[in-house]
Structure 1
């Protein structure tokens, strides 16, 4: 059986920023007053330690580029523009043991949300590179679909440049282009390699995205189970063949309501290392066809083709 071995870091870093034109000089004091809800005690206990550090940064002294922060969905574009145009930023950094995830990242993001509410600023995740839209509250239960993965569709049909045929109208359209490349941006903060799928035809972009989402959730579930055993080494070996089920798809969305997936379920994919920190996703080793044949055919459950946003209840604002 083919396997993949990758290094697991002892610690990981999560970074968030809040953009505004008026960051108060006493950020810790502001956060202590603004923090509320289930993460208040965690914030108070970690504030000032490497697990929760606050810095006040001006646009002239930044070591990162606000221009690289984007909107994950079209409705977030005004917030992304406001973030890039801001003159001051509150940066929240959490440097924590891998065994403290996902709590460490959740506490740091809850702090970012609290500062954003107090200042009227725009929060962003510097790991995913996306602004964080309302309701700007952190769910106590970890849900990967809550903007942790950097999962977003590319511009439709390569911003109109792609003229490949629609597979529903012309079978040649199944492999009519290879415009789409999707990559996660967020698994590394949990000690996992990122995932990538490439050479996808435009009509199959949502199916490919949901394959990445489901695979990421399964890998994360298995990863936390492995960490719970207290492994002595810092390398982890996993099978290259990954079997995914209805539960993995539901767990990504964080819903106990059954997300309708028609058979076949489970389904399998193949992982391969591109670098130590990036795995590629491909059809099963015994699949006879292209990645687009796999995405378009009857191998994947139908729910992969039409679910874009979470069916779970959104977190409520604090």
Structure 2
């Protein structure tokens, strides 16, 4: 095996396994095969076929056990990963667990995960129950579990399979991923992230996971499973990686790439996990957090909030009127898929504040009803702590003051209010 300064050899496990649980009061109503047959036409054919084949193979087992035979699931951790009181209540009332386990070789597709989650979701649906993903310590309702499975083209949203928890310490925020081990890859971590980058760095970590997972599975594409896969020491992350990881490939997020250095951080405790650490590239001056902030600014560029207010009759009012007059047209083009390649549609809208509105941008993800836009915030708001980079937002069309198409170079169409601000015609706040 060739080892160079440009690549990091990462060990490959011999096999991978997935475990899902279905808590229930009493015994299953139907067999797993019958439950899976009921999903025909609702699951992508390749996934339905995979689940059916693995059920008939020694690679999968489905057992019903008394709940007393299974180690107790920690309710505090389940709650931390999103469990509701109703879900925990159903678990406490359960007398049995259906245990779905599958095993497969490392590589793509991860048949053990796809098939085990599909079978567990089918069984849970047959009893109006829940799925417990043992790896992620997460409850999934059957509909959510089924939506997370691949479409006809084998595509998934990585955010449905990889979580990005974080905690705080004296040096800032410590981010890790939880889910890459499903695919045989070590989990990622970043330390020393500034506190104000909570949402933004979570998105960057998800984009980095998507890029490295692609490199990882490319290295496993041969017939023989190698002992190591060599990952690039300098990994690139782009807005496209983030968009695809969140299931919005049509919003390519064309941005300049950000470089991150990959370091192997082996565990000293044999019971603990090793990590791949994301660090600034060599030669970066100053603390790591400064580089992480600059990386976020690059990946979420050109759409900063502003707290400036237009007076009637001035250049800003004309800019807002121009933007609003074009809303119907840009919506029609968005819905028809007629926007320029590698572009992203963003809208600017007002959030109420003590001294007047704060104007922030959001990337448009859907716009089915003319009066309501669904999107993801493209900036952190000062006036509303719930509006952070990447957070979902619903915008009333009547609140929109501007729109723009962005590509890797910046604004390519629209952005009339931004042009007024950039020209220096910045009206003072009215009181």
Whether the 8 Å CA contact 1:11–1:97 is kept in 2: the answer is yes
1:81 corresponds to which residue? 88
Distance 1:197 1:85, change over 3 A: farther
Are positions 1:290 and 2:287 aligned together?
A: yes
SS at match of 1:98: coil
SS at match of 2:292: helix
Whether the 8 Å CA contact 2:32–2:122 is kept in 1: the answer is no
SS at match of 1:284: coil
Mark the structure with the bigger radius of gyration: 2
Whether the 8 Å CA contact 2:234–2:261 is kept in 1: the answer is yes
Superposition deviation, residue 96 in structure 1: 0.8
CA distance in 1, matches of 2:186, 2:48: 31
Superposition deviation, residue 54 in structure 1: 0.8
CA distance in 2, matches of 1:114, 1:307: 32
SS at match of 2:69: coil
1:3 corresponds to which residue? 7
CA RMSD of superposed structures (Å)? 3.1
SS at match of 1:205: helix
Superposition deviation, residue 250 in structure 1: 2.3
CA distance in 1, matches of 2:87, 2:163: 14
Unpaired runs of at least 5, structure 1:
163-176, 311-318
Distance 1:218 1:239, change over 3 A: same
Superposition deviation, residue 34 in structure 1: 3.8
Distance 1:62 1:255, change over 3 A: same
Counterpart selection for 1:119 from 127, 136, 154: 127
1:101 corresponds to which residue? 109
Are positions 1:187 and 2:150 aligned together?
A: no
Superposition deviation, residue 49 in structure 1: 2.7
CA distance in 2, matches of 1:280, 1:46: 35
CA distance in 2, matches of 1:53, 1:82: 27
1:218 corresponds to which residue? 211
Q: How many residues align?
A: 288
Superposition deviation, residue 13 in structure 1: 0.8
Structural mapping, 1:114-263, within 5 Å? 114-133=122-141, 134-137=143-146, 138-140=149-151, 141-152=154-165, 178-230=171-223, 233-260=226-253, 263=255
- Normalising by structure 2, we get a TM-score of 0.59
CA distance in 2, matches of 1:110, 1:270: 36
Whether the 8 Å CA contact 2:6–2:232 is kept in 1: the answer is yes
Unpaired runs of at least 5, structure 2:
268-273, 301-377, 380-387, 394-431
Structural mapping, 1:3-42, within 5 Å? 3-24=7-28, 27-36=31-40, 37=42, 38=44, 39-42=47-50
Superposition deviation, residue 293 in structure 1: 1.6
Structure with the bigger RCO (C-alpha within 8 Å, sep 6+) is 1
CA distance in 1, matches of 2:172, 2:27: 42
Superposition deviation, residue 295 in structure 1: 2.6
2:73 corresponds to which residue? 65
Say which structure is richer in strand: 2
Superposition deviation, residue 146 in structure 1: 4.6
SS at match of 1:228: coil
